[in-house]
Amino acid sequence: MESHIYRFLLHACGELMIKNKLSIAFAESATAGRITAEFAMIPDAGKFLKGGIICYDAAIKHSLLKVPEQQLETFSPESEIVTLSITAGLQRLIPATIHVGCTGLTAPGGSETKEKPVGTMFLYGISGHELIFSERTVYQGSPQDIVEQTVMRVAQLLHAYLLDKE
């Protein structure tokens, strides 16, 4: 990952959120808080970052974020529909203008299949009732590489949305 581009995007997101008086919260599964942590390192993060919830275990997705058990069983904890549900659950728990959810597979041992290999990540962003982004991407590399690529992609998607709002 290009470190200077990565930092530029994160800082640009922070500046645009502050300028437009927006706030953000994250619900993270596979990234285990890394997205929230990276956004927390942006200067003046306290002006826009509301918080994050790590829902690595499916039981937390169900009990805290109210993901229906049926969704978890039918689609798996790492799926598009569950990502939508954790994002909606996040909206109920943390007031913010933007909510982002992330699930996926960074290592073997989850719900990977031929159609959903390790490296598959699901991202969902909403602002109120507006869909900001919804994406399924397959990344390559180590678990750390996959997480870093996912953080970069969140920054790219968020930056594009924030620029469009200008």
Token pair 């290592």 in the structure block, residue: 107
Residue 166: the pLDDT is 74
Contact yes or no for 86/123 (Cβ under 8 A)? no
Residue 162: per-residue pLDDT:
96
Give me the torsion for CA of 89, 45, 151, 134, rounded to 10°. Answer: 40
Contact 109, 35 (CB under 8 A): no
User: For the chain, how long is the longest CA-to-CA vector?
Assistant: 44
Q: Does domain 3-19+31-119+135-164 have CATH number 3.40.50.2020?
A: no
Q: What is the pLDDT along the chain (166 residues), one digit of tens a residue?
A: 557 787 899 999 999 999 999 999 999 999 999 999 999 999 999 999 999 999 999 999 999 999 999 999 999 999 999 999 999 999 999 999 999 999 999 999 888 899 999 999 999 999 999 999 999 999 999 999 999 999 999 999 999 999 988 7
Whole-structure pTM value: 0.95
What six digits make up the tokens of 40?
A: 């927390």
The CA–CA distances, whole Å, from 92 to 86, 95, 96, 99 equal 10, 7, 10, 10
Contact partners, residue 13, CB within 8 Å, separation at least 6: 39, 42, 155, 158, 159, 162
Contact between 150 and 134 (Cβ < 8 Å): no
Domain borders along the chain are 3-19+31-119+135-164
What pLDDT score was predicted for residue 2? 58
